[in-house]
């Protein structure tokens, strides 16, 4: 069994004092990383699904490297709407970071998608990338697979968030449901916990390492009671996937 840590939406600034909606994102990330190092140092990889930075600068990515560059396991990263894909690639194209579209982790494949849509909070996976994904899935049809993207491919039930999800989410779901070896699709962006099933697929949205959004709100709103979080993914040798959400109320910093 493989243990993977899923983190998302770290929203770092160049300065450790940078705050997102009143939350110092470096402080909450520090608490999250301290907790996972203390309790889950046996993880085989870390997966960070976008919005690595809030401030779109090289210095913000260098700050991200300060937190993650010392890990001895692969740190898989993909872009979110607040990222700058070119800067992300230029900054993180070195170990332990893995930006590959396909990462092989022992018995599993992890497919990373780019849903960054320039100038938009919503996302879109390019048709060419979907075609490439399908080709890889056909070629590796015997290996259980986890697919990761930043934007939710389904409505999460919060009206304003549902206007800025993955614009071609249904196309992605239709593609994945044609491949029984794809076990789960995981994302960030919504700063909320989502756990559903779609045919054979586990659909998993993980909250942020910083502030969370208020579920069900018509307009933008932060949930003052929702703590920073991360998720544990257990990828079984039998191709099954289990997960556990870890919430850290003590990590909230104003």
Exposed, middle or buried: residue 46 (CB in 10 Å: 0-12, 13-18, 19+)? buried
Q: What is the pLDDT of residues 196-239, one digit of tens each?
A: 999 999 999 999 999 999 999 999 999 999 999 999 999 998 89
pLDDT for 118 equals 96
Give the chain's length.
254
Residue 101 reports pLDDT greater than 70: yes
Q: What is the pLDDT of residues 51-85, one digit of tens each?
A: 999 999 999 999 999 999 999 999 999 999 999 99
Tell me 141's DSSP state: T
Q: Where are the beta strands (DSSP E) in 21-112?
A: 23-24, 45-49, 75-78, 97-98, 102-105, 108-112
Beta-carbon neighbour count of residue 156 at 10 Å?
21
Residue 28 reports pLDDT greater than 90: yes
All structural domains of the chain with their residue ranges: 2-248
CATH code of the domain made up of 2-248: 3.60.21.10
Q: What percent of the chain has pLDDT over 90?
A: 90
CA-closest candidate to residue 127, choices 136, 140, 114, 137: 114
What does the mean pLDDT of the chain come to?
95
pLDDT for 17 equals 85
State pTM to two decimals. 0.95
């Amino acid at each position: 069994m493989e243990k993977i840590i899923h983190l998302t939406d770290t929203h770092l600034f160049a300065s450790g004092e940078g705050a997102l909606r009143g939350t110092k994102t470096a402080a909450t990330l520090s608490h999250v990383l301290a907790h996972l190092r203390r309790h889950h140092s046996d993880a085989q990889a870390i997966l960070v699904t976008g919005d690595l930075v809030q401030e779109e600068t090289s210095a913000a990515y260098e700050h991200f490297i300060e937190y993650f560059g010392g890990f001895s396991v692969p740190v898989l990263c993909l872009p979110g709407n607040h990222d700058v894909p070119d800067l992300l690639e230029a900054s993180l194209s070195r170990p332990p970071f893995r930006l590959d579209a396909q990462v092989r982790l022992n018995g599993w494949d992890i497919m990373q998608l780019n849903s960054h849509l320039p100038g938009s909070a919503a996302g879109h996976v390019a048709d060419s990338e979907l075609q490439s994904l399908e080709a890889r899935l056909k070629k590796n049809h015997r290996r259980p697979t986890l697919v990761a993207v930043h934007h939710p491919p389904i409505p999460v039930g919060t009206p304003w968030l549902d206007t800025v999800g993955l614009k071609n989410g249904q196309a992605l779901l239709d593609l994945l449901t044609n491949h029984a070896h794809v076990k789960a699709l995981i994302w960030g962006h919504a700063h909320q916990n989502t756990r559903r099933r779609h045919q054979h697929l586990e659909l998993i949205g993980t909250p942020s390492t910083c502030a969370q959004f208020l579920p069900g709100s018509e307009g933008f709103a932060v949930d003052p009671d929702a703590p920073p979080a991360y998720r544990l993914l257990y990828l079984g040798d039998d191709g099954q996937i289990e997960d556990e959400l870890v919430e850290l109320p003590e990590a909230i910093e104003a």
